[in-house]
């Protein structure tokens, strides 16, 4: 008598082809996280620039400095660990829009928390909650989307034919 074949889970084509984590299956690497952080830095500085122009055009340099003082520590100390945790928790969720909504919500929360910590809860700083929340959400969504796109492009491309 022969043993019936036991079905095995199909291996991911990316893992089989390259031995790499499969970005299509929402697996990520340290390089993806670092790229997301770089995009995040650009998002924080761009948000500071835009809201600096809208709120205090005369003090644009001051707005950029305050945006960097508030946003970059929040991005590094809150944004990166929360992004790693969210990406891990959402790994089995295939719908990209769910990832983007979750990252947007967590980014908005991070932006608001950064303003609360920076202002010490002083209501006089209330004007910064909207820019902080919007910048946090936009930064988180753009960093997630661009890091995923980069991962798919770099690890998802077909190998070049020799020739």
What DSSP character marks residue 59?
A: G
Q: In sequence order, what DSSP letters do the residues of 46-88 get, joined into one string?
A: HHHHHHHHHH-GGGHHHHHHHHHHHHHHHIIIIIHHHHHHHHH
Per-residue pLDDT at 110 exceeds 90: yes
Q: Exposed, middle or buried: residue 123 (CB in 10 Å: 0-12, 13-18, 19+)?
A: exposed
**Across 29-43, 56-70, 104-118, 142-156, least confident range:** 56-70
Q: Where do the domains of the chain lie?
A: 22-152
Using pLDDT thresholds of 50, 70 and 90, give the confidence band for residue 134: very high
What's the CA gap between 139 and 161, in Å, rounded?
A: 37
Q: What percent of the chain has pLDDT over 70?
A: 77
Please state, rounded to an integer, the average pLDDT across all residues of the chain.
79
Read off the pLDDT of each residue in 21-36 and give the average, rounded to a whole number.
Answer: 73
Please report where in the chains the tokens 């697996």 appear, as a residue: 27
| Predicted confidence (pLDDT) per residue in 65-91, tens digit | 878 888 889 999 999 999 999 988 988
142 or 7, higher pLDDT: 142
What's the CA gap between 55 and 62, in Å, rounded?
A: 11
């Amino acid at each position: 008598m022969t043993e019936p074949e036991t079905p095995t889970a199909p291996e991911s084509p990316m893992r089989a082809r390259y031995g790499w984590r499969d970005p299509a299956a929402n697996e990520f690497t340290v390089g993806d996280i670092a790229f997301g952080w770089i995009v995040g830095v650009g998002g924080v500085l761009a948000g500071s620039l835009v809201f600096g122009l809208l709120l205090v055009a005369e003090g644009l340099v001051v707005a950029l400095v305050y945006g960097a003082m508030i946003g970059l520590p929040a991005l590094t100390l809150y944004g990166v660990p929360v992004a790693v945790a969210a990406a891990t928790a959402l790994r089995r969720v295939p719908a990209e829009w769910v990832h983007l909504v979750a990252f947007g919500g967590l980014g908005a929360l991070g932006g608001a928390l950064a303003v609360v910590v920076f202002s010490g809860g002083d209501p006089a700083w209330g004007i910064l909650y909207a820019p902080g929340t919007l910048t946090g959400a936009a930064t988180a969504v753009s960093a997630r989307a661009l890091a995923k796109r980069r991962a798919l492009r770099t690890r998802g491309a077909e190998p070049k034919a020799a020739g």
